[in-house]
Amino acid sequence: MKVLALPRLPLRLFSAAEKVQQLFAKAGVRIGGRRPWDIQVSNEKFFDRALAEGNLGLGESYVDGWWECERLDELFHRLLRAKIEEEILPWPFILDVVKSRVLNWQSRSRSSSNARRHYDIGEDVYAKMLDRRRVYSCGYWKGAANLDQAQVAKLELSCRKLDLKPGMRLLDIGCGWGSLAQYAAEKHRVEVVGITVSKNQFHYAKRHVAAKRVEIRLQDYRDLPPEKFDRIVSIGMFEHVGYKNYSRFMTVAADRLRDDGLFLLHTIGGNRSTTRIDPWVQRYVFPNAMLPSIAQIGAAAEGRFIMEDWHNFGPDYDRTLMAWWENFENGWSELSGRYSKRFHRMWKYYLLTCAAAFRARELQVWQILLSKGVAKAPARRIG
């Protein structure tokens, strides 16, 4: 790969290159430097694209092979800590904000299409990347030595917070491939109804979840019949609900939960209230997703639930994503026959930039325990 050095750039592009160099320097990043987080540029168009399109341009130009970096996670950790994105306001950002204000991108009609574009890409990718139970959410690394242990610890932590008792009826909103449903049924002997809008996840769970006490449904949360549950859990699904639907989601959960029940909401969260997600992630990874803030969750829960506990273990997602990246990279030789080099670059960029966001504390992981004020609250926080 031919690497461009700044002094050799054509004069007509120098202003854009100089601006990018100045911004990156604030984060301790050099263009053409030799440290693992420095970048090597091979296409001079990168500089204009980065300034004009911000994060979208950075991501797309990386997938296009216009620049390289040995440690993407460390590069973006530094860029995020220096808040470089606040100095660029590209048109894709402005357009996304306007669209998010006008349209409901997480409507019932769009939800299954959104899920298909990510969760239905191929069983082999997730089989190689995830733990043996196929848990696609943050692990809990306290006392864990590897990914499998961290995910079992997270499942057990969730069940303990819910204070599950044999014979209880548990609703799992956004059950994924059925890992929590099976774990709760086998280890805590509860009856579980798991719902998902992903056909791929639904068929996998129907084939692989062996517990007799588990029912898996292909169903949107808004289509749940008027039935009651002793406990409700939702892990890694609220990120797909959308701010226009937060109140509706909480109403559905409150209506389905018995008066003495508990509801555990596990979600990635952002430090500020927004109505959009990163434009590159929106286009290539999680279409029409968005991350809630403390204020947005609180407003949606107000009048419906009492908050019993709020637990943040966001740094654990950095470690989880790095473990997923290691698994994906180790399994790439077996995946490369089905997936292109562009897919490899895109997936690498997704996993490592997300790890950087948690490392920089731009993103959090929250487990929020809610009740209607009748259930006996835990004597002390679990975890």
Strand partners, 170: 192, 231
Residue 29's alpha-carbon distances to 16, 25, 32, in angstroms, are: 16, 5, 9
What burial class does residue 135 get, using C-beta atoms within 10 Å of its C-beta: 0-12 exposed, 13-18 middle, 19+ buried?
Answer: buried
Calpha distance 317→141 (Å, rounded): 9
CA gap 140, 124 in Å, rounded = 24
Q: Would you please indicate which residues are annotated as catalytic (active-site) residues?
A: 354
Residues 265, 268, 272, 278, Cα dihedral to 10°: -140
Element (H, E) at 131: none
- How far apart are the C-alpha atoms of 158 and 117, rounded to whole Å? 28
Contact 170, 256 (CB under 8 A): no
The answer to whether 368 and 307 have CB atoms below 8 angstroms apart is yes
Q: What's the gap between Cα 174 and its chain centre? A: 13
Residue whose entry in the numeric block shows the structure tokens 């059925």: 178
| Measured CA distances, 53 to 101, 104, 171, 291 (Å) | 20, 24, 42, 21
* Strand order from edge to edge, sheet including 169-173: 214-218, 191-196, 169-173, 229-235, 257-270, 363-371, 306-312
